[in-house]
């Protein structure tokens, strides 16, 4: 008894030969989809070009104005002199640069151990109910305006530092570093938490199978495996610490001098710019010097963002 074979009909395709994507049955709907895709492509391209244009104009304006400084004074006088006396045409920014680096280092020294410890707690140790409480709180802290942190530092932290140190003011690097540490702690903690959670479960299981304790697994397996993500979090926190202005202005003392102690009023690049920019003429060496400080901050931010991108790509290749 013979059997009949029903021929299989190939689906309709874009080129009619059976080797392309199927054509939408409704030509009008297909045309609308094509139009929306084209409009989205045009919109995305325009947005990217607009963003690049704005960024380029910012770099051009700040950089061009900043470089005018070296027509008035030498780069060595600006970068290596500690004498900042604009009334006497002395524009040495070394004190502000050193203070900025010192403040950033002190901030990270305070914030990083606490942030990484909290990240380990959230990712590896805390019960579920505690995680669901801590993580939203950290997200909330990230969104608080910096001036609120500065006000709390001014009204709560400075009086406390005066009492425990015996200093008459309390303004200085320590107060600014404590405020900045509280500000960057949620950022470093949340990104580090994500990096730790992303470590494959099989790494932990293999370590436990070899008889490791929880502490050994965390210290010898989890933290090394997530180190690049944690480093990216630290650099991102450092970027915020370097560029923060309002909170620092309210607690650092705003005195243009090199910090001789943790409680001595001083100033950093950002605070010096915001305190003096409104008092200078545009076509003046003083203004050019402030623009050069802003240009330095811009370069520091670019370098840190570039490092984060490189670390992210390296981590992706090693995953």
Q: Is residue 270 included in any domain, yes or no?
A: yes
Domain that holds residue 37: 27-71
CA nearest neighbour of 175 among 253, 259, 251, 100: 251
Q: 64 with 80, same domain? A: no
Q: 241 with 95, same domain? A: yes
Q: Is residue 3 included in any domain, yes or no?
A: no
Q: 227 with 301, same domain? A: yes
Domains in the chain, number = 2
Q: 63 with 121, same domain? A: no
Q: Is residue 43 included in any domain, yes or no?
A: yes
pLDDT in tens, 248-299: 999 998 888 888 888 889 999 999 999 998 888 888 999 999 999 999 999 9
Q: 62 with 90, same domain? A: no
Q: 202 with 294, same domain? A: yes
Q: 247 with 294, same domain? A: yes
The dihedral of CA 252, 255, 259, 262: what is its sign? negative
> Where does residue 81 rank: exposed (0-12), middle (13-18), buried (19+ CB within 10 A)?
middle
CB 68 within 8 A of CB 285: no
pLDDT, tens digit only, all 319 positions of the chain: 455 555 555 554 444 444 545 545 577 787 788 888 889 999 999 999 999 999 999 999 999 999 999 999 999 999 999 999 988 889 999 999 999 999 999 999 999 999 999 999 999 998 989 988 998 999 899 889 999 999 999 999 999 998 888 777 778 899 999 999 999 999 999 999 999 999 999 999 999 999 989 999 999 999 999 998 999 899 988 888 888 888 999 999 888 888 888 888 999 999 999 999 888 888 899 999 999 999 999 998 888 888 888 877 765 555 5
Q: Is residue 18 included in any domain, yes or no?
A: no
Q: What is the pTM of this model?
A: 0.81
Q: Say how many Å lie between the first and final Cα of the chain, rounded.
A: 60
Q: Is residue 208 included in any domain, yes or no?
A: yes
CA nearest neighbour of 215 among 309, 310, 295, 124: 124
Helix axes 27-67, 285-318, angle to 10 degrees: 130
Q: 58 with 191, same domain? A: no
Q: Is residue 114 included in any domain, yes or no?
A: yes
3-state helix, strand, coil split of the chain in percent (to 5) is: 75, 0, 25
N residues, the chain = 319
Q: Which of the listed residues 71, 93, 128 is the one where a domain comes to its end?
A: 71
Q: How far is Cα 221 from Cα 135, in angstroms, rounded to an integer?
A: 23
Instruction: CATH number of the domain at 142, please.
Output: 1.10.3720.10
CB 269 within 8 A of CB 297: yes
Burial 232-246 (b: 16+ CB within 10 A, else e): bbbbbbbbbbbbbbb
Helix axes 173-197, 158-165, angle to 10 degrees: 120
Q: 288 with 274, same domain? A: yes
């Amino acid at each position: 008894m013979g059997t009949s074979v029903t021929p299989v009909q190939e689906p309709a395709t874009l080129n009619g030969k059976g080797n392309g994507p199927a054509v939408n049955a409704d030509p009008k709907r297909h045309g609308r989809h094509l139009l929306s895709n084209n409009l989205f492509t045009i919109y995305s391209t325009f947005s990217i070009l607009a963003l690049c244009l704005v960024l380029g104009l910012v770099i051009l304006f700040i950089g061009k104005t900043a470089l005018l400084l070296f027509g008035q004074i030498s780069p060595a006088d600006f970068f290596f002199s500690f004498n900042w006396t604009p009334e006497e045409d002395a524009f040495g920014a070394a004190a502000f640069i050193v203070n900025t680096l010192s403040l950033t280092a002190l901030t990270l020294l305070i914030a990083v151990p606490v942030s990484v410890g909290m990240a380990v707690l959230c990712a590896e140790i805390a019960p579920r109910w505690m995680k669901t409480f801590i993580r939203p709180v950290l997200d909330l802290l990230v969104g608080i305006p910096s001036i609120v942190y500065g006000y709390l530092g001014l009204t709560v932290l400075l009086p406390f530092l005066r009492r425990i140190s015996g200093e008459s003011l309390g303004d200085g690097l320590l107060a600014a570093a404590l405020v900045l540490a509280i500000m960057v702690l949620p950022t470093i903690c949340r990104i580090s938490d994500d990096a730790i959670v992303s470590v494959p479960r099989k790494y932990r299981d293999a370590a436990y199978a070899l008889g490791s304790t929880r502490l050994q697994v965390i210290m010898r397996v989890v933290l090394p495996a997530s180190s690049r993500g944690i480093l990216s979090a630290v650099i991102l926190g450092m970027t915020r610490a370097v560029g923060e202005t309002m909170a620092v202005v309210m607690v650092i003392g705003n005195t243009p001098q090199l910090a001789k102690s943790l409680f001595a009023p001083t100033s950093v690049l950002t605070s010096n710019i915001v305190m003096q920019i409104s008092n200078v003429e545009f076509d003046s060496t003083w203004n050019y010097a402030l623009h050069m400080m802003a240009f330095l901050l811009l370069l520091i931010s670019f370098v840190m963002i570039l490092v984060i991108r490189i670390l992210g790509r390296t981590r992706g290749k090693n995953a």
